[in-house]
Amino acid sequence: MDEKAPVYNYRGDKEESIDAADGSAQITPFQSIMENRSLDSQAVGFIKKPIWHAYDAESGTAFLAKFATDTITNESMRASLKANSSLFRMFKKMTNLQWKGDVDLTQGITIGRKSTPAAMRTWFQTRILGNAVENNVLIGNNRLIYQDGYGDNIEILSLLADKTDLPIYYTEEIDVLLKNTPDAKPQKVYHVFYNQGTNKSIHMKFDSAEKARAFIKSTPGAHTINSLYELHTALGGINCVDSQGNYSEFNNEVVVNYMTEIGSIREGHTSSEQKDQDSYFQPMKQYHIGYALNNSAVKNGAKNVNKSSAWSDDSELNYFEVDSEGLGMQMNADHDIIDSELTEFSQVITATSAYGYTYDNSNEIFISLGMAAF
């Protein structure tokens, strides 16, 4: 998806067309947060330098990517709303993959299908919003607030579902300024989305389940929350703010909490085990394109190519799955983890795979690198 751009220097020399984002990738905020939580104390923020290798057993091909990543944030999406190369548009394409009936936002690893609304509110406040410990990091005591179209700050107190007839998800919301007044009462907001292609998702809010259901039944393609993009939008979207009214990234953390919490224990495992994909089925993690790699980021084994126009049009993204076991962080801009030892290794491996040395020569190089590392 590399976009081209002209480049000039101080002497007036000009190069008509170079890769504007050479060796880089965009990743969803959800992917970035999950990686940082997995890395624990070695988390590297929202700008990273990964190296990624994998092997496709079916085709016998290797995949190698070495690149810099920039996380798509609420802030960067707001800044690019009117840009031709819109991060907001790319975020929609990467996260608006529709669920296939295996996601229920009211049934999770630590909450049961028949839980009462009161129990669901407590679960939302403790496990989804805060006071939940993930990988020894306290997420907690946060408030989920967004700024509406009138400039008012609205707090989301819970997300529930009306499951009579056609299930509809709704949030309970209240104006922050009115929250502590005597007559303050949360309002139910029912969320419906009308998809016109991957990039054209219209968010509609209703004040009653009956109105929401009537719209869904009369409008082809209309549905309640059914993707990570739609969940992110219903939880404040790019207009999420903190308790002081400053723009915030907190709802991205909330979506990741849902991705972790919604699921079930796999057969043969117990609740005492670590909460990961091996012991738990967590379906929401399957419904986003975590990485949008530019061509120049993939050194070997690209399976598909999206046109650079994908940044500005409504086409769906081509994508493929790569095993993440070989995905690691190089920690800083010099590519090193300890004393620059990784830099030459990664460069040699890249050159070997890219320039087609014979098998024997490549094998000698890899064995030598392995012996030196050992």
Contact 123, 111 (CB under 8 A): yes
Beta strand spans in 44-167 (E): 47-48, 50-56, 61-66, 68-71, 133-134, 137-138, 144-147, 153-162
Residue-range domain boundaries for the chain: 4-96+288-333, 117-268
Q: What is the pLDDT of residue 48?
A: 82
pLDDT of residue 350: 55
The rounded mean pLDDT for the chain is 82
Tell me the C-alpha distance between 142 and 251, whole Å: 10
Q: How confident is the model at residue 336 (pLDDT cuts 50, 70, 90)?
A: very low
Rounded Cα–Cα distance for residues 55 and 300 (Å): 11
* Rounded Cα gap, residues 320 and 118, in angstroms: 41
| Per-residue pLDDT, 138 | 47
Reported residue count of the chain is 374
Kindly state the average pLDDT of the residues 236-249.
Answer: 92
Confidence of residue 3 (pLDDT cuts 50, 70, 90): low
The band of 86, judged by pLDDT with boundaries at 50, 70 and 90, is confident
Return the structure tokens found at 27. Answer: 């990743």
How far is 352 from 358, CA to CA, in rounded Å?
9
Of the candidates 290, 291, 285, the one whose C-alpha atom is nearest the C-alpha of residue 66 is 291
Strand partners, 329: 50
pLDDT tens digits, residue range 321-333? 888 888 887 754 5
With a threshold of 0.85, does the pTM exceed it? no
Report the SS3 class of residue 215.
Answer: helix
Report how far residue 264's alpha carbon sits from residue 305's, in angstroms, rounded to the nearest whole number.
35
Q: What's the average model confidence in pLDDT over 251-278? A: 85
Nearest to 213 by CA among 190, 245, 189, 246: 190
CA distance 126 to 139: 10
